[in-house]
Amino acid sequence: MIRYLEEKPDIKDYLELRKSVGFHDLSPKQAEIALDNALKIVAAYDGNEIVGMGRLVGDGAVICYIQDIMIRQDHRGCGIGAYIIKRLVEYTEEITLPGTKMMLGLMSKKGSESFYEKCGFIKRPNDELGNGFTMYIFKEDTK
């Protein structure tokens, strides 16, 4: 049975989950900072093993992003990702200030677009919104 916890997972578990789904490696310090600065984390466990996770980042007033939607391959297709997205959307609705609009964005892995559309997200580009863009910043270790 899958259980969901809305708390920071163990850093080692987070790094192993990232690796299992093919996300790029992070240092333990990067992982710690990323998890500590998340607005909300939802993690799925099968027994004591983390099998899925997502987190919400952003300013909590104007814009938030869903990051790190990761489901282990052997647990895909059973609603874990949909539940995590649903809970992160609900939390965003909870923190949106009365009388205001919050933008909630995410970046999809190629091939996952239809999943996010089923969850209510609008595909870009469209008649109103252009493409999203990414830039990676690399800093060499001078030690």
Q: Which tokens is 102 given?
A: 């919050």
pTM here is 0.92
Q: Domains in the chain and their CATH numbers?
A: 2-118 (3.40.630.30)
Answer with the residue of higher pLDDT: 142 or 14. 14
Count CB-CB contacts under 10 A for residue 125: 9
Express each pLDDT in 88-130 by its tens digit.
999 999 999 999 999 999 998 888 999 999 999 999 888 888 9
**What pLDDT sits at residue 115?**
93
